[in-house]
Structure 1
Amino acid sequence: MRRSAITAAILAALFTGSAALPATATAVTAAEADATSATESDIGDRLAALPGVKIVSVADKGGFPLYALTFTQPVDHRDPAKGTFEQRLTLWHKSTAAPVVFYTGGYALSSSTREITTLLDANQISVEHRFFGSSRPEQVDWKDLTIWQEATDEHRIVETLRTLYQAKWLGTGASKGGMTQVYHERFYPADLDAVVAYVAPNDAVNQDDHVYEEFFRTVGTPECRAALNAVQREMLVRREALLPRFEAAAAAKGYTFANLGGADRAYEFAVLDQVWNFWQSGKPENCATIPDPAAATDEELYTWVSANGLSIYADQRQGPAANGPYYHQAATQLGWADLKFRHLRDVRRYPDLYQPNSVLPEEMRGRHQALPMLDISTWVATRGRQMMFLYGQNDPWSAEKFTPSTFDSHLYVAPDTNHSTLLPKLTAEDRAAAEATIRRWAAS
């Protein structure tokens, strides 16, 4: 992974948008140990002295310091005159001699301990994605929320903190966080020594969603698929009876639906997402709980659906301070699954509703760019090195996978697993192989 990043500037324009040691070596090792001890004791001072870094607070986590930091970033890396913003990150410091796990959840800041951090007893740096949470300027130009801009944010952080941590660096993240680390690797392949991406979708060609359609034709058992489709259809057949329940649940939380154009459109959007959400978070054994639409009362039907994936896409949840930045990225670069819903054609009212711009305020909507995802997918398959992809067999987001290259890169699928795929959910053989590879990549 220690390779030239010469293509980054070009792409920015395109996308704008155990042998025994001799005695002398033993003496050196002891001296190095003393130096390391001194280094660990003044890590806070060394952090504070780094350009762009500010220590906000420090807490104890498992006997090691957890630093809350900010890092000053240009709003637009192509035009520094547009100003700066403070990007939030945390550093769980164990040792400057230990590996570093570089993590982003792809959204607001999360400092949860990643499983490869535990596996490697590593330091962990966690980064908030640009323009999510509080990592944004007061006035946001949404055109500056691109995969290259975020990759460049992360590149600057890595360059700065590598002056303190010179062991191996492994990037990781799940879902959108996994995607983000793949994009970082593509634009700045010299930054990280390896990437371990969990359930990272790869919508290389946004207009071609046949893989998702095939997933929903084959996931689980025929009986479970038929039952879910029947419930989804019944939710629209009984729209007039069930919509008031939806509106009441939204009103109780202060939700409005101006972006979607009203509660009826929001209700249909939520119903369209029902089956996807069931497989994303549910388990095959949950199929036994699906109600029979012919026998279920309105209350029974709505109660089950509400507990099994009925999302409410309200203005308050999809705006700039919430999930809106994700939907902007989906609309402009990441892509989305535009499913056909053939079994619902005669009960849908809004055939063009199911796309990310629908849930966004007007100022956050955007036009999709076809090049970025196709470029990423091709690069990973042909030039990516030391990249690992883990997917869940029953996870819709895992339907369109990255294809790893032949350059020490790997793909594993966890059987009967959803979007919460982790190493222990792999087969015993695959888990052993994956963990051995990760340890090898992290070895000095």
Structure 2
Amino acid sequence: MRRLLGFSSVVLAVAGLVAVAPEAGASDGEDIADALAAVPRLTVVSEDAAPEGFRFFELKFTQPVDHRHPGGRTFEQRFTLLHRDVSAPTVAFTSGYNVSLSPNRSEPTRIVDGNQLSMEYRYFTPSRPEPANWSRDLTIWQAATDEHDAVQAFKKIYRGRWLATGGSKGGMTATYYRRFFPGDVNGTIPYVAPNDVVDPVDSYNRFLANVGSPECRASLRAIQRDALQRRDELGALAKADAAEKGYTFTTVGSLDESLEIAVIDAYFAFWQYQPESACASVPEPGAPAADVWAWFEQVESLNTYSDQQLDGFVPYYYQAAVQLGSPEAYDSYLRDLLRYPGADQPGTFVPASVRLPRFDHLAMPDIDFWVRTQGRELLFVYGSNDPWGAEPFRLGFGSKDSYRYFVAGGNHGSTIAQLPAEQAAEATATIRRWAGLPASPASARTYAATTPAGFPGFDANELMADRPRL
């Protein structure tokens, strides 16, 4: 099943700014650690190593389980804070999944040389209430209110301009947050955020039928058919891999069903993350099974849907099944080889112990309508080859000071820095204006070019939901 990456995307947090200003304390010279300790509901878990000029904190923030009843049960939500200066702009960042425990900076944070408050999405462990009431507490409004409460609490320290950002599911989250709390931040920069307005009526399959070259599409379809025709051979490799890693398949039903869904999804996953030039590496039908297995490991592991691989992403699949929507399976050319037709849908990946309520058909149209009629200071970035951009957010007659860009040939890791120079400079200037900063001759390309000493390299396992999906 297509899984959005929770950005921290392949690019959002890879590099740093050109210049690093000296670190400033809290207001009136107060040390930032002391200022954090004074914020109600906030616990400083630790202060970790950070590049020169920055301080990096792991935090816990006490949130209501149900924001409609703020005096009721609570849970601890995990945050991190990359602090530079209380007078600098601050970026509220979420991947839509787990929070990174490394001091990485999103692209907007680099552009404004600001502070970054990163938030773990509710129900991603350990930020999960116990006992859990999924249908009541895991909604886009509850999550947006988590972000609202946090931003309001941190504004007592960081009184400058605020921006919100995220990629993929995090970009969706940033958009929903702005819809429900339009006055909280001065600008919102969602990256590669899908907008599945009416589920299951969508444009994904039409997009997938035409993306890239006919030759590349044909080679991908050929290896998928070959894999399903050799499922006993590849299934033996999957079984050995599962035994070595301790994988089980209770949620989807069997290793064979997991393998079939992974083969279906490999086409989507290829276009999500691979450049079209990678078509040259697609094995020919009849290639040695070990070579075919190795290719799928790079694109969509045939054991992706084991219980252990799914466990960390159940909150995403739950939300896709009840509010977010999801693409239909792109598998018409494989139907004669399928043993489990119709299984490639979000509910398949949610354990039976979690009840799925009826799908909320009003949630996404509400967000889409708001963006078109009332959205302000929104800057959307997409990749033209990314299947998740098949249904992007669209600006309308009521969208003010808002923009949308497509990276030509870009995938699910598209950034402002990858845009043509003029557009990259234009988008960079817009973000700096929203942050209350003077215009700069540099574009996002310049901001991405140099990493200050001490910033870690990009950690895909830590920052992305997982390699092949949302």
Matched, 1:92 2:101: no
Paired letter, 2:248: T
Q: Which residue number in structure 1 is paired with residue 353 of structure 2?
A: 363
Deviation of the 1:38 alpha carbon = 5.7
Matched, 1:124 2:116: yes
TM-score (norm 1): 0.88
The answer on whether the counterparts of 2:26 and 2:35 sit within 8 Å (CA) in structure 1 is no
Out of 344, 347, 350, the position equivalent to 2:340 is: 350
SS in 2 for 1:97: coil
Q: Which residue number in structure 2 is paired with residue 253 of structure 1?
A: 245
The answer on whether the counterparts of 1:40 and 1:95 sit within 8 Å (CA) in structure 2 is no
Paired letter, 2:62: T
Q: Partners in 2 of 1:131 and 1:268 — Cα distance?
A: 28
Q: Partners in 2 of 1:82 and 1:443 — Cα distance?
A: 38
Matched, 1:415 2:404: no
Matched, 1:304 2:295: yes
Q: Which residue number in structure 2 is paired with residue 380 of structure 1?
A: 371
- Residue-by-residue CA offset, 1:229-274 (whole Å, 9 max, x unaligned): 1111111111222211112112211111111111111111111111
Q: Partners in 1 of 2:229 and 2:355 — Cα distance?
A: 31
- Residue-by-residue CA offset, 1:312-354 (whole Å, 9 max, x unaligned): 11112223xx111111111111111112411011111111201
Q: Which residue number in structure 2 is paired with residue 164 of structure 1?
A: 157
- Counting only pairs closer than 5 Å after superposition, residues 393-412 of structure 1 correspond to structure 2 as 393-405=384-396, 406-412=399-405
TM-score (norm 2): 0.83
Matched, 1:152 2:148: no
Unaligned runs of 5+ in 1: 1-34
Q: Partners in 2 of 1:130 and 1:123 — Cα distance?
A: 22
Which has the larger Rg? Answer: 1
The answer on whether the counterparts of 1:334 and 1:373 sit within 8 Å (CA) in structure 2 is yes
SS in 2 for 1:419: coil
Paired letter, 1:197: P
Q: Partners in 1 of 2:189 and 2:27 — Cα distance?
A: 32
The answer on whether the counterparts of 1:392 and 1:419 sit within 8 Å (CA) in structure 2 is yes
SS in 2 for 1:390: strand
Matched, 1:179 2:172: yes
Paired letter, 2:409: D
SS in 1 for 2:328: coil
Deviation of the 1:427 alpha carbon = 1.2
SS in 1 for 2:239: helix
Q: Give the direction of change, closer, same or farther, for the CA distance of 1:245–1:36 in structure 2 (3 Å limit).
A: closer
- Of 310-319 and 380-389, more deviation after overlay is shown by 310-319
The answer on whether the counterparts of 2:264 and 2:330 sit within 8 Å (CA) in structure 1 is no
Q: Percent identity?
A: 46
| Number of equivalent positions | 406
The answer on whether the counterparts of 1:175 and 1:199 sit within 8 Å (CA) in structure 2 is yes
Q: Partners in 1 of 2:79 and 2:318 — Cα distance?
A: 22
- Counting only pairs closer than 5 Å after superposition, residues 27-426 of structure 1 correspond to structure 2 as 39-63=28-52, 64-80=54-70, 82-110=72-100, 111-143=103-135, 144-209=137-202, 211-293=203-285, 295-311=286-302, 312-319=304-311, 322-366=312-356, 367-405=358-396, 406-426=399-419
Q: Partners in 2 of 1:307 and 1:50 — Cα distance?
A: 45
Deviation of the 1:221 alpha carbon = 0.4
- Of 417-426 and 357-366, more deviation after overlay is shown by 357-366
Paired letter, 2:295: W
SS in 2 for 1:78: coil
Deviation of the 1:59 alpha carbon = 2.5
Q: Taking CA–CA contacts closer than 8 Å with sequence separation of 6 or more, which of the two structures ends up with the larger relative contact order? A: 2
Paired letter, 1:92: L
Greater fraction helix: 1
